[in-house]
Amino acid sequence: MKTTLDLPDELVARARVQAAQESVTLDALIERGLRLLLTADRPAPSPPPRSRLVPRPD
């Protein structure tokens, strides 16, 4: 699928250099990075704190 991204110039410049050093396309480098990020073993986010009901005095 084709899509348009708005990325900082400095980030794209660094990515282009990295892609050239690895002899891969910029698309391939970005795809690999996204796949790594999305499949990385990360701890599950902790659940939000539960509200505790405190009985009111009568």
The pTM of the full predicted model, rounded to 2 decimals, is: 0.65
For the stretch 11-35, pLDDT in tens is 999 999 999 999 999 999 999 999 9
Q: What is the DSSP string of 11-44?
A: HHHHHHHHHHHHT--HHHHHHHHHHHHHHS--PP
Please report, as a single letter, which amino acid is at residue 28: A
Cα dihedral value 30, 18, 12, 41, nearest 10: 40
Provide the residue count of the chain: 58
pLDDT of the residue at 57: 76
